[in-house]
Every structure is written in C-alpha cells, then in structure tokens.
Amino acid sequence: MPSTASAPRTVLVTGAAGYIGSHVARVLRQRGETVVTLDDLSTGSAARLDGPLDLRLDLAGPGALESLEAFLSGRRVTDVVHLAAMKQVGESVERPTHYMDRNVGGLVHLLTAMERCRVEQLVFSSSAAVYGPTSVPLVAEEHALAPANPYGQSKLIGEWMTENAARSWGLRAANLRYFNVAGTGWPDLADDGVANLIPIVLRAAQQGDPVRVFGTDLPTPDGSCVRDFVHVLDLAHAHVAALDHVRTVPGARAFNIGTGTGTSVRSVVEAAEVVTGRRIEVVNGAPRAGDPAIVVADPTRAHRELGWSAQHAVADAVESAWRASTARHCSRPDDGGARDGPLGHPRTERAVLVHRSEPPVRAR
C-alpha cells in the first residue's frame, strides 16, 4: 500500500509502547513512514519500541500542552495516530471521572497542540464501546450511539471532538471503532493484557488454571458474550489505510474495524484448546457491569472507503498469541530473532461462528 504523500512527512504515534501502538508503529515504519513515538509508560513497555522512546509524556498531565506544541513543531510532525488512553471497561465504571480526565483531557491537549501547530491529519483510536447494547446481528456506523460505560462514553466524546475540530479548523480525522483486538504479529509485541480474553485463556492453558466466563445465560447461542475479534496485524494495516484516507479526504469519518464475524467467549476457549492441545476448565461467573451481550461489526464502510478488510480469523489470533507466548518462554533475553517477521498466516476459521457479514473485500 504505497504512501499517497510526496512531501516529507512525520507520523506521531501516541501510546506507541502499548500492545496496539507498537504494532501500528512497526507497520508504519515497514511501509517507509518516518515515525516518532510518545507514551507515558504507565501501562506500555519501552521494550516494545524499535528504538528509543521519543517523548515520555502524560497527555493529560500538567504542562502536557506546552510539551506537545514544542514536540510537534520541533519534530515537524505532519500526522498523528492517537492510541494513548485508558481502556478497561470495569475500571471505568468504578472510576468514571478519572477516565474522563485521562481520555478526554488528553485529547483536549492533543487537539489544541495540533491546531496551534497546523497538524491537520489524525487517526483516532475509538471503540465499538460507543454503540452499547445492540439488537442487530451486525452493527453499522449509523447504529444508535449509546455507550453502556464511561470508557465508551469517553471515546464517543473523542469522536465528537474530532468532528468539531474538522468543522472549526479543518482537521481531517478517521475515527476507528475497534472491535476486540487479539493475536500478535511478533513475539516481542505480544499482548500481555491481564484483562484481555485471549491472553487470559492462554495463561490458563499454560498454568492449568480455570477460566471464568462472565455471563452464561445471555441471549446468545451458548449463553456467553459474543464479540468480533480482529487480529492486531489487520488493525495495524487499517491505521495505514486510514492515514492515507485522511491525507486526501476532508472531514471526520467513523469506521468500524472488525471482521463481520461474531465468536462467543466459550468458542474462543474451545479454539484455544485446539491450538494448545490442552483442556481448559470453565467456571461460570455473573455478567460484568456495562458489558453488552453481542457486539459484531459491519465493516462494509471500511471495505468501501478505505480499501481495507480483515485477513485473519479468530483461530489465527489464538494461534499467533500461543506461538508468541511459547517463543517468549523458550527464548533467551538477548534473542534477536523475535522480530524476523509476522507470526502466522490467514487460515480457515475453526471457532464456532455466530454471525457473518458478506465475504470480505481484499485490501488494496
């Protein structure tokens, strides 16, 4: 996917030391972009970066605006991919004001600095959490926006902010509504999230522990939550496509980034059993506050306008995560072979499928 820009460009990736941000930064560099990185390292790790962290900064903290202005100007940043945010649904219910302060406050500083420095292209990490409970098999971008938790509310406010900035001073923005991100491209960038489903399931397989499934009598085929799991490499390439889009198309536009296929939590556990060859015990738990029963993407708009589609299935995500986990456990700390190339290849879906959209359009 060639760059559409002829003039020298520099892309700032915020949250670059995180699971998703590190994949995005690496994929952008692989396609020839000049990338600078920002993170506060509160949850990310500098070990994920392909070089030194360019700016360690809490976007919502004191003095952040001034630091951002100096950095954007000094490094001649032309585009921003903004991923830095807090993202745990349960924690957002317990600490709603804190989530607004961090997620919305950080974006206020970023957009203000971008306006002052005339940085007019933004790819914003939004979320499928902006939809809340859904009653349709596939959720399109036109679906009612009614986030069921403060995390989703903070992302919807962020989308409103980009839309206002587009009308006010000409920001060009792509608001990417991620569905459930999973898998890994390289072992050194594997998902270590303690609250993310696939790492939880694979740790249980390694350690012989049970997996607690939150919600077992929901209105879904097997009673557990149904989600759309998108491989992190597909998501990273969606950012590349979105960046090309905002470099040529005015306004702010939302895009679902998902596969169009729903997979239940129990089916993910079953897929992990197949990949690992180990039985995983399931313990039934009560549904979590703010968790919708079903959320599955209709990715048609991203197919049509970005030329992007997911190339991997849930089984690919589970297998790549498992291979990364075993590789990291077996490799030496100084092993340099972890970055040789992406893990895994697209394969046929093995988990139980709940909903599927029309066949995906191949990415350009």
Closest CA to 34 of 73, 69, 65, 7: 7
Q: And the tokens for 25?
A: 């930064």
- Is residue 152 within 8 A of residue 132, CB to CB? The reply is yes
99 is catalytic: no
User: Is 278 in a helix, a strand, or coil?
Assistant: coil
* 179 to 131, 138, 257, 276, 350: CA distances (angstroms): 11, 12, 6, 25, 19
Catalytic residue among 19, 99, 151, 178: 151
CA 20 to chain centre: 5
* 39 to 4, 61, 361: CA distances (angstroms): 27, 12, 34
Closest CA to 40 of 20, 12, 11, 60: 60
Tell me how far apart the alpha carbons of residues 257 and 180 are, in angstroms, rounded to a whole number.
Answer: 9
Query: Catalytic residue numbers?
Result: 151
